[in-house]
Amino acid sequence: MTEERPTPTPAPKRGVRTSTQIIIWVVLMALLVLVGLGLKKAQNPIISIGSKVPDFPLTMFEGYSYQGASEVNFSDLQGKVVVINFWASWCKPCEQEAAELEEAWRTYADGDDVVFLGIAWTDTPDNSKEYLERFDISYPNGPDLGSRISSIFNRNLGVPETYFVGRDGVLRNIKIGPFNSVQEIQATIDPLVAENITAGE
Amino acid sequence: MRKLFWIATLVLVLSTLTIATVSAQGSTPTDDEVNAIARQLYCPVCENTPLDVCPTDACKEWREEIRNMLADGKSEAEIKQYFVDYYGARVLSEPPRVGFNWLVYVVPPIVIVAGIFVLFRAFRAWSQPSASSPQGATEASTDEDDASPSSDDEYIARMEEELKKRN
């Protein structure tokens, strides 16, 4: 004869309520989404060749101006080939190309097709001005305030770096490191000056 | 004589005040004062390198800039704000408390508190006996029939009897 064992009393439910678990998981997923968005935003580079360059303001050093104004917006330069050169006074390779850049600029200065913009990156104002005087730079130059301009082109910027933008505001060429000659600079600019003229004819 | 003594004392006191004032205007901030601010800033070029220990020439220039600003009477807050305006918020050793940056300050403490709460509940649950244990079943059967022995004891006794028979 078999005797039945009494059924054990079921243990009381332990742990977090289902509704609380759902809330915790939703909050965690929301945090993950935020982190993902932040990482995507911090991706480098910001723009690449073929993409439109966003507008940005450049406040120039004392003594520099563009068409009489001490501040210029990039959008004001639509229709021109723009050469954007990032440099710093503490950068030795920048010194190698400073004279070539100024010489190249002077071949285009009288015309209306090309604009050179020099941007001092993570530099002190006094040292920047001394550098510009030393190399007798005459094209518009200003500091990269808040690193806002460099963050458009390259979050991991090094100097020197030069960006060539066509008349349509599209980034056409990038030069990492110093130029070796004036001819090298002109060889990059001249096709950009010519291509839109050809399209317009 | 007494009058002369007091005049001389007054002149001496006034002259020391003048000297003190001149000294204050000409004093150069010390390295400690400069580094107290520099260690709250990062080198704008070298990644993750505090400005007070960065060995590059550029960093030396930035420390000199801090020294000049201190000598001009600028406060720590003004100097830090100048660096932020010129080089960006990335030069700060602590993210500014604006916008999504608040998550950096709020989320870790919340996660730590939540973790402590979970551990507390877990420890408490482990230390409490459950109702499905043999002791609990024994109490349940005893409640039903006080005169008879527990079912587990009977079961064990029968098992031992069966084993003896087989041996």
The stretch A165-173 carries a mean pLDDT of 95
Cα–chain center distance at B87: 26
The reply to whether the predicted model has a pTM over 0.95 is: no
Chain-chain contact of B45 with A11 (C-beta, under 8 angstroms): no
Q: List helix spans (H) across B1-146.
A: 2-26, 31-38, 57-71, 76-87, 102-127, 134-144
> Nearest residue of B to residue A34 by CA position?
B100
Name which of B57, B125, B144 is nearest A14 (Cβ-Cβ): B125
Contact A108, A92 (CB under 8 A): no
Residue A52's DSSP bridge partners are: A170
The residue ranges of every structural domain in chain A are 57-200
Chain-chain contact of A11 with B131 (C-beta, under 8 angstroms): yes
A57-200: CATH topology: Glutaredoxin (3.40.30)
The residue with tokens 């400005």 is: B51
* Residue A17 at interface with chain B, using a CB cutoff of 8 Å: no
Chain-chain contact of B137 with A151 (C-beta, under 8 angstroms): no
Name which of A11, A38, A124 is nearest B61 (Cβ-Cβ): A124
- What residues of chain B score a pLDDT lower than 50? 20-25, 132-147
pLDDT, tens digit (0-9, with 9 covering 90-100), for A93-122: 999 999 999 999 999 999 999 999 999 999
Contact B88, B95 (CB under 8 A): no
Q: What superfamily does domain B2-94 belong to in CATH? A: Cytochrome C biogenesis protein (1.10.8.640)
The residue ranges of every structural domain in chain B are 2-94, 104-166
Name which of B56, B86, B125 is nearest A145 (Cβ-Cβ): B86
pLDDT in the model for residue A61? 96
Give A52's DSSP letter: B
What residues of chain B have any CB closer than 8 angstroms to a CB in chain A? 44-45, 56-58, 61-62, 65, 84-90, 100, 103, 107, 114, 125, 130-132, 136-137, 140-141, 144, 151-152, 154-155
Chain-chain contact of A146 with B132 (C-beta, under 8 angstroms): no
Question: What's the token pair of residue A184?
Answer: 């090298």
pLDDT, tens digit (0-9, with 9 covering 90-100), for A21-70: 888 889 888 888 887 877 776 665 578 899 999 999 999 999 999 999 99
pLDDT in the model for residue B140? 47
Name every residue whose Cβ is closer than 8 Å to that of residue B78 and which is 6 or more positions away in sequence. B69
A71-73 and A141-143: which strand pairing? unpaired
Report ipTM (2 d.p.): 0.72
